[in-house]
């Protein structure tokens, strides 16, 4: 009985981490704006408690990837204090990314089972409906309105420039990327529940409409590409296991009908026009779809690697590439090293240790990919569909930003837990 109670509290801890991730921005903007700064790391105590409890019970997965990440991070903190910026609070803030949130992926994988992942997926679908309504209100409201207040009750607004005078809405998050990440996580669950019985069809249809509406309302090309990748993974999954073919057709028909209904609504037509303008203008400046994908992903990776050889051997110091680190060091929020993730990691930790961190993230991604693809043969689509989002944020998601870090940690843990095994 005692072990069951402990397991229940651990699961509740994961749920608390999840809800804090979704509503942290709401706390910082609307409910307790005076505590906006400390709330930036509100999930960290929960994460540390979960790690400690699982470690205390001797159930923390001791994999090579996890051990290597801890060793590299500890060495980086030492070199930061000896040869880098030398600021201990900045180093601690940077190290927590790899010493707390990265291990939490494995911890969530230990605590949750597949049924827990599905329960969280249902909750995500339920949240998606009011979230879509909220971003619709934010989309059409002026930046000075209460619903668009920025962090710390900033009356200048929390939106980000979009197109045609409209701003990208932040939803309940601190910044607009939260909306993109949330609906990118929601899409795999929506598709999975279309293939599996047991989900309330009215809720599923409404959540599907919410995901479709979020694309133009968010004015986010990243969300568009992310959902597109989820659809590609779906096709691969169906080809791998033909038993889902009939359900694909049914889901496709219902999704098409939902889209046809949405585009008849005037508010949705405006959103589509704004999104199309944003998409066209940005694609033209980057050389079309090929230039967008090449510059954003492959090009940024190669640029980070090539520029790393011009930096100090031990880097400038862990934490310096984060906005908090920049504020503590320079007194202003800026990118002291690089706006992109790989460039930040290499700049903070140096080429050798930075590449070590990158290879660990790639190694975990490949391991999850191989396991998820293998699961398709057994007819289990869940890990594979979750990978469609996980493979975008685990290898090169911007972990310096707390919301990005939170979603990367959560999806990593959910993917591991979806295998319903003690060790992957």
| Tens-digit pLDDT profile for residues 84-142 | 999 999 999 999 999 999 999 999 999 999 999 999 999 999 999 999 999 999 998 88
Residue 423's pLDDT band (cuts 50, 70, 90): very low
Q: Kindly tell me if the per-residue pLDDT of 388 is higher than 80.
A: yes
The per-residue pLDDT for 68 is: 96
Residue 285's pLDDT band (cuts 50, 70, 90): very low
DSSP character at residue 154: B
Whether the model clears a pTM of 0.85, i.e. scores above it, the answer is: yes
The per-residue pLDDT for 169 is: 92
Give the SS3 label for residue 213: helix
Can you tell me the distance from the alpha carbon of 42 to that of 33, in angstroms, rounded to the nearest whole number? 13
How many other β-carbons are positioned within 10 Å of the β-carbon of residue 222?
15
| Tens-digit pLDDT profile for residues 331-340 | 777 777 888 8
| Tens-digit pLDDT profile for residues 337-381 | 888 898 899 999 999 999 999 999 999 999 999 999 999 888 889
Percent of the chain with pLDDT over 70: 86
Give the SS3 label for residue 200: coil
Can you tell me the distance from the alpha carbon of 154 to that of 413, in angstroms, rounded to the nearest whole number? 34
Bridge partners (DSSP) listed for residue 127: none
Element (H, E) at 198: none
Can you tell me the distance from the alpha carbon of 370 to that of 330, in angstroms, rounded to the nearest whole number? 43
| Tens-digit pLDDT profile for residues 144-184 | 888 888 787 676 766 666 666 778 899 999 889 999 999 99
């Amino acid at each position: 009985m005692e072990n069951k109670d402990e397991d229940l509290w651990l699961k509740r801890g994961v749920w608390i981490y999840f809800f804090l991730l979704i509503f942290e921005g709401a706390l910082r903007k609307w409910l307790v704006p005076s505590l906006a700064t400390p709330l930036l790391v509100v999930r960290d105590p929960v994460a540390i408690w979960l790690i400690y409890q699982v470690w205390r019970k001797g159930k923390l997965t001791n994999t090579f990837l996890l051990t290597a990440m801890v060793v590299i991070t500890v060495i980086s903190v030492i070199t930061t204090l000896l040869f880098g910026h030398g600021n201990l609070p900045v180093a601690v803030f940077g190290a927590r990314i790899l010493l707390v949130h990265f291990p939490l992926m494995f911890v969530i994988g230990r605590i949750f089972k597949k049924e827990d992942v599905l329960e969280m997926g249902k909750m995500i679908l339920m949240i998606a409906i009011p979230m879509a309504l909220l971003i619709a209100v934010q989309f059409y409201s002026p930046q000075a309105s209460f619903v668009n207040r920025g962090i710390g009750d900033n009356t200048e607004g929390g939106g980000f420039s979009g197109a045609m005078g409209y701003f990208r809405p932040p939803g309940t998050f601190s910044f607009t990327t939260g909306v993109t990440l949330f609906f990118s996580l929601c899409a795999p669950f929506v598709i999975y529940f279309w293939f599996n019985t047991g989900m309330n069809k009215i809720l599923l249809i409404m959540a599907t409409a919410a995901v479709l509406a979020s694309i133009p309302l968010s004015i986010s090309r990243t969300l568009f590409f992310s959902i597109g990748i989820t659809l590609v993974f779906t096709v691969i999954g169906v080809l791998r296991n033909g038993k889902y073919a009939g359900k694909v057709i049914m889901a496709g028909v219902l999704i098409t009908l939902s889209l046809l209904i949405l585009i008849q609504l005037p508010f949705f037509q405006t959103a589509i026009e704004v999104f199309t303008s944003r998409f066209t203008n940005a694609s033209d400046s980057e050389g079309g779809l090929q230039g967008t994908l090449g510059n954003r992903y492959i090009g940024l990776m190669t640029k980070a690697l090539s520029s790393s050889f011009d930096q100090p051997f031990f880097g400038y110091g862990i934490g310096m590439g984060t906005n908090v680190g920049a504020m503590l060091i320079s007194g202003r929020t800026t990118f002291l090293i690089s706006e992109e993730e790989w460039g930040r990691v290499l700049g903070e930790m140096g080429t050798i240790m930075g590449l070590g961190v990158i290879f660990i993230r790639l190694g975990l991604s490949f391991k999850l990919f191989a396991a998820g693809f293998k699961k398709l043969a057994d007819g289990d689509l869940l890990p594979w569909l979750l990978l469609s989002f996980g493979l975008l944020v685990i290898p090169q998601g911007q972990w310096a930003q707390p919301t990005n870090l939170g979603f990367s940690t959560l999806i990593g843990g959910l993917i591991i837990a979806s295998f319903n095994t003690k060790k992957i």
